[in-house]
Structure formats: structure tokens, C-alpha cells
Chain A
Amino acid sequence: MVTHKGHRIHPDDENTSFFSPSPVPSFSGSGIQSRDNIHLASSLSLNDSSKLTRSNSVATNADIPSYTPPWTTPYIIGVAGYSGSGKTSISQRIIQELNQPWTILLSFDNFYNPLNKEQRQQAFDCEFDFDEPASLDFDLLCECVSSLKAGNKTEIPNYSFVDHNRTGKSSTIYGANVIIIEGIYALYDQRLLDMMDVKIFVDTDLDICLGRRLSRDILDRGRELMGAIKQWEKFVKPNAVRYVMHTMNNADLVIPRGMDNIVGINMMIKHIQNQLSLKSELHLEHLQRLGLTHDLNLSKKENIKILPSTNHTNGVNSILLSKDTDRTDFIFYFDIIAFKIIEHALEFLTEFEENIPISTYGNYTYNGMKSKDEIIAVNIIRSGDCFMSSVKKTFPEIAIGKLLIQSDSMTGEPQLHTESLPKSIKNVSKTGRKIFLFDAQIISGAASIMAIQVLVDYGISVKDIILCSYLSTEIGIRRIIHAFPDVKLVLGKVSSMNSSQEEGLVRGEVVDKIDGYNLEGFKDTDWVFSNRYIDSLYFGTD
């Protein structure tokens, strides 16, 4: 069914939920169409600012290279239709069938204009026209979509139908593979239409729509028959005829009879799947070509340091990778490798005050040096926490920030759940601070890229970020480097990219042997490189 699975560029993920099918794949909670209930189940990823913050600061733009990761070129699907036509069901069906990570459902319900007091009273009396285009904030929606399309951190507002106002909370999203824009006016605004890859109109007979709407309003939402009919007669139907109907002309595909049209829906999904696998294939080819170019040779890149293979590190690696190692040993030896990685990372700090006269005992003078950099540690919860014991042993007074980035277990979209960073982080570039970012494993690279983006949004220059990780896949590293060419990486062990093409595979191996960072011939798809097991073992929660 999911044909693109074979072409997927990231056969793994930062979180176990990444590939899980999305049983209730609705972005902002289950009651998304409800106008009467608080409909936001997503109390998880809430940020204080209510307005959309666009992260395209000057620094970000300067750092985006010619290569664009797939999530910065999302596939955008518009789904329009009358109220009660079944467009939400179809959108959810699409999400389920695509089973793509980083799929986002943007519902128009979150983009209503806030109401004033008078309007609010009208709304409570079922006298307010919610079905008119003017009730929606198209500008904000366009801004959100183009921000997502640019791969920027984007705040999606939450709208409460109890207060008829934005809740002041929002969900933070970084990039997406697939964006579904769903609402009666999805095909209304030219700016949105221009951004969409496929436009779908669900053309269900208005009588059926009324029937569905009535049963939904009365059975599910406990409303009066008369009120519901009044709203239909007065607002919903006239607006549908006046504004919605002709947007059908903007559609690439019209699905008559809504969800009942199984053949039509299946054809549509097939088409979208084909488009997405084409996109994946192109991207994979692109990556493979990049992977064979000389300047992307990992061991020759100046901003990547891989722990040299010595007897001691080889022995420690063997213990950490072995399934026969007990937890006590695992923790002990992980602390050792973490210490080595941190010591290695320190070599990136090159700004030193030199020739400081130091008087030693016996009144001799020593030509001393002092680092000009101050270090702030930021760890990606939970896997980065494994480094903390070693960090504390190396810098007892270090300031530590934390980022919680997880994929939504329902939709699979990556979300920034919590950011708690030291206040001093804002002055980083001014005072010569360096950020050590910790994550025990880099698998798809998605969490790291998101974490780096968060730091960039805080105004930190990418070249001041040193990402420390133990097990890393080549594909993950390449993505990070492509997204942020100036970021510095310190890695314990690196596997090699799997290639579906024989030629690439052989060449890749030859390169590895010469450069000596993966003499063991680990592959990105090996279990230890494609599963987050380190933090589970370290914290004993598997």
C-alpha cells in the first residue's frame, strides 16, 4: 500500500512514534470542526506567544544553502467542500493512507478572526455568520503556510469557540513533508492556490450536507433542531452557493459524493502517493550524488570531528554496542565515551588569549593561555541527558539548557514541546559563547536540525554551535550539514549510508576504508544506528 516506504530517505527516526500510523490524524485535536467545544487536545506544544512568529531572521536566510531538505519543500494539498461534505474525513483518510512523517493538517477552524464583544453575543445567539470569507484570517493562514514552506519555525494559532477568540496559545511546528489545508474556503484565496500542489474539491450534494450537518449538530453537539436549521438557511447555504460553489473551478480534482466515493478517493490517494514517491526518489538521487562528491567527504570536512579509532575507544565501543553488556557497565562506559567526545569537542574552541604571564611556585614565569569562549550546554531530552554527568565533570559550573523535541504520537509530526534555555544564551555571539548541543544518537537528523533551528531562532550563529553525538548515521549528518553547513559536529561512531544503487554502495565503502572512520562497515540501517536505545539503556526505561 505505502509504496513510498521503499524510497524513504530516512529509514528510521528520532522517535519511535515517527513511523507509526496515525490513527487519529488530526493536527489540532479531535473536535476540530466543533464550534461549541474547546477543541484543542494539543495542550502539549504550547507557546506563549499567540501571534505567528516567523523565524526567517537574517541569520537563518544566510545559513540556508542551495540544498533544501525535503521538509522545506512540502507537498501541499488543499481540500475544500461544503460544510458537511466530508472533507475532514477525506483529509484524515489521506493522512492515514500516506503514513508520511511530518504530515500537518491545517484546519481553517484555527484561523477565524477574533470576535469583538458584540459579535460574540451574536455568535452565542447563532446570529453570527461564520461561513462568510470575511470571518477568516486568510492573511495569517498564508503567512503560516509560506513560513512552513520556507522551512521556518512556525506558530500555528489555536482558536477557541468558547471565547470566539484565539486562545493565546499556539503550536510550534518546524517544517513538514506534507501539509493538508482543509476548510470550506481552502480553494478560495489565490495566494493559497498558488502554493498548493494538488487541489481537491469534495462535491457532496447540499441536501446530503444538510442531513449530515443536522445529525452532527443535534446528536454530537446537543443543539436545537431549529437553531441548526436557521443557521443553515441563513448563513451556511447562501454562502455555500455564493462563495464556495465556484471555487470548484479552482480544483484539480472534484470528488462527487464525498466519502462514499471509494473509487475516486483511492485514485486520488494513489496519485498523491506517486507524487510523493517521485519526490522521495528525486531527493534520494540528489543525496546520493551529493554523497559522492569530494567536498562532502565526512572525514575531510573541517567542521566534523570523529573520534579516532584507538584501542581504548574500540574497546569501549564494543562494550556499548554489545547486547551482552549489562546496564551498570553500559552507563560506566557511556560516561567514558561521552567524556572523550566532550574533550574532542573542546578542540573547536580556538579563541585563546595568549602569552599570559603566569607566576608559578618558585617565582618562575609560564607563558599561559586562557580560552575566550564561554560554553553553554544544551541537551535534547532525553537522549542528550546521557551526556550530562560527563559535562558536569568537565565544566562544573556550566549553564545547561534543555529542548524537548518529539514526534506527535498521533500525527507523527515533530514538535518542539519545551524549550528552556539559559537567559544568557541571547548574548551568545556578543560574548564569544559557544553552544554544545548534545544528542546521544543522530538517526534521521530531524531532531538535531530542529534543535539547531531553535538555537538559530535565538539569534545564535550556526558556527558557534557544536553538536556532540555518539552514534550517528551518515545520512543524518549529511542532512544536518546540508541544512546548516557551518555547524560543528563531534561524533563518536558513524555508520555509512545505505544505497540502493550497487555502484554507490561499493564506492561508499572504499571511501570509508581509506578514511578510516567506519572500519567496521556499519550501515545506517543497522539496528544500533537506527534505533534510539542508548537513552533507554542509560536510564533503564526499556
Chain B
Amino acid sequence: MSSENLIVLPQTKQLIGLYSIIRDNATKRGDFVFYSDRIIRLLVEEGLNQLPVEDAVVKCYGDHEYKGSKFLGKICGVSIVRAGESMEQGLRDCCRSVRIGKILIQRDEETALPKLFYEKLPEDIHERYVFLLDPMLATGGSAMMAVEVLLSRGVKMDRIFFLNLLAAPEGIETFQAKYPQVKIITGGIDERLDEHKYIVPGLGDFGDRYYCI
């Protein structure tokens, strides 16, 4: 695993406390959503910390000036439907008018491989930093397909930030082998994948738990 492009949120007791709630299969949906949202917010903030800013002279109240920073404002969220959409609000909470594109990838019933069904992305996405949103990085299949879509639209690989709540070592390995310059920002790395390609110990199907199906 490349550590340079793998950013794991500091594993504070607070954070582990939050994960203890959302991993628990006895946790009710309201709490699951609330505490997931808090983790998502931390992921988004970490992502924003990675973005460059430009120097700017800030005129303070009281006519004092100092050399501050200005956001470049060239970001864009891309969520992988459906679970990734749960992270859009967290992004909006930090960047009010951020553009958000969507990609729908589903497993093809015949080939059992992920297949791109739909994409809707901002026209100028190639000029932007992209926050790719998908809560779980298990095998990395759909995320890699999404990155492929982004690259085909001219997005630079080192401008892609893949935000997820939980990742499996196998997934990170495969993903980074193919897209070494994409930055993975995750809240935690679990032990492994089981024979059904679920993350162990994991937290269940994020989309199902978040959207209550």
C-alpha cells in the first residue's frame, strides 16, 4: 500500500467510538445516519485539507491586512449511485454550491462484472479536483470503473480524491496498483474480505442501512 496517497483519518478513540455505533447491527437507522454523517464530514474536511489554496491578501475589519489563503473553488463531487449519494450532504455542508456529478454502476447479471449504466458529470470536470464518493472500498471494482470514467473525461489522476468510510486491504492494493496517483481518504482499514467479498468485520451494506431498504 502506498502510504503517500493513502490517507487514513487519525484513529482517535472518538472516531473508534463513532465506528462502534455504526458497525453495531443493533444500531437503529436514525443513529446510523447521524453518526455516519459525522464521519463523512470528517472525511470531507480531510479531503478539503488536501486541496491547494492560493495566497491572498485579506483585508480584515479594522483595516488590517494579512497574507491569508483563498480557495481555488475548482472542485466537484462525483457520487457512485446509490450509496455514494449518502455522502453528498456532507460535502455540501462544507462547500455549499459544489457541483455534484453522478455515476451509476451495477453488477451485470450475466457477466457478474460491474457495468456502467449512467453518468452525468459537469462539462468542465477536466479542470476540477474531483471528490469521488463511495462509502465502502471492498474489491474496488466500481470505484475503479468510476475512475476510468473520470479519466476518460480528462480529469487528471492526481486530482482525484476517493473518499470512503471503510476500506479492505485487498481493495486498496488492487486500486492503488492501477491508479497510484489517486488519493484514497478513508476512515478506517479493516482486516480482510470474506468469501462473499464483504469487508470483515465491516458494517453491513451501507446503502441499505442508510436508505433503509
Contacts and interface: CB of A to CB of B under 8 A. Distances in A.
Given A323-B60, A359-B25, A527-B63, A315 B200 contact: no
Contact of A347 (B12, B23, B53, B200): B12
A324 B60 CA distance: 8
Contacts of A352: 13, 17
A336 interface: yes
Contacts of A369: 13, 16-17, 20
A350 interface: yes
B66 to A, nearest CB: 5
B69 interface: yes
A504 to B, nearest CB: 21
Interface in B63-104: 63-64, 66-71, 93-94, 96
Interface in A314-366: 314-315, 317-318, 321-324, 332, 336, 339-340, 343, 346-347, 349-350, 352, 356, 358-362, 364-366
A189 interface: no
A517 to B, nearest CB: 14
B49 interface: yes
Nearest to B45: A312
B179 interface: no
Interface string B135-174: 0000000000000000000000000000000000000000
A365 B23 CA distance: 9
A12 B23 CA distance: 49
A522 interface: yes
A526 B58 CA distance: 13
Q: For the side of the interface on A, what is the size category?
A: 35 or more
B68 A318 contact: yes
A368 interface: yes
B182 interface: no
Nearest to A343: B42
Contact of B201 (A346, A366, A371, A527): A366
A526 B61 CA distance: 9
Contact of B59 (A323, A339, A358, A371): A323
A396 interface: yes
B45 A340 contact: yes
B201 A364 contact: yes
B81 to A, nearest CB: 21
A135 B93 CA distance: 66
Nearest to B62: A527
Contacts of A371: 13-14, 17
B48 interface: yes
Interface string A291-331: 00000000000000000001111110110011110000000
A350 B13 contact: yes
A394 interface: yes
B107 interface: no
Interface string B170-210: 00000000000000000000000010001011111100000
B211 interface: no
A423 interface: no
Contacts of B26: 359
A314 B69 CA distance: 6
- By DSSP majority rule, is chain A's interface helix, strand, loop, or mixed? mixed
Contact of A361 (B25, B53, B63, B64): B25
Nearest to B47: A312
A421 to B, nearest CB: 25
Nearest to A328: B96
Q: For the side of the interface on B, what is the size category?
A: 35 or more
Most chain B beta-carbon neighbours within 10 Å: one of A352, A365, A366: A366
A125 interface: no
Nearest to B203: A360
Contacts of A346: 12, 14
Contacts of A247: none
B28 to A, nearest CB: 13
B89 to A, nearest CB: 11
Contacts of B34: 396
A422 interface: no
A430 interface: no
Nearest to B96: A332
Contacts of B194: 362
A179 interface: no
B127 interface: no
Given A311-B49, A318-B68, A371-B17, A527 B202 contact: no
Contacts of B70: 315, 318
A118 interface: no
Contacts of B23: 358, 360, 366, 368
A522 B24 contact: no
Contact of A362 (B13, B58, B96, B200): B200
B12 A317 contact: no
B48 A520 contact: no
Nearest to A356: B20
A366 B18 CA distance: 12
Given A359-B25, A361-B204, A521-B66, A528 B50 contact: no
A341 to B, nearest CB: 12
A526 B25 contact: no
Contacts of B58: 318, 321-322
Contacts of A314: 53, 68-69
Contacts of B56: 318
A471 to B, nearest CB: 11
A358 B93 CA distance: 30
Contacts of B68: 314-315, 317-318, 321-322, 520
A366 B20 contact: yes
Contacts of A323: 59-61
Interface of B: 12-14, 16-17, 19-20, 23-26, 34, 38, 41-42, 45, 48-53, 56, 58-64, 66-71, 93-94, 96, 194, 198, 200-205
22 contacts: A312-B45, A314-B68, A315-B69, A318-B56, A321-B61, A323-B60, A339-B41, A349-B14, A356-B20, A358-B20, A358-B24, A360-B24, A362-B198, A362-B200, A364-B202, A365-B201, A368-B23, A370-B17, A527-B62, A528-B60, A528-B62, A528-B64
Given A343-B14, A362-B194, A371-B13, 10 more contacts: A314-B68, A318-B58, A336-B93, A336-B94, A346-B14, A362-B204, A368-B17, A369-B20, A526-B64, A528-B60
6 A-B pairs with least C-beta separation: A527-B62, A361-B204, A368-B20, A318-B68, A364-B201, A314-B69
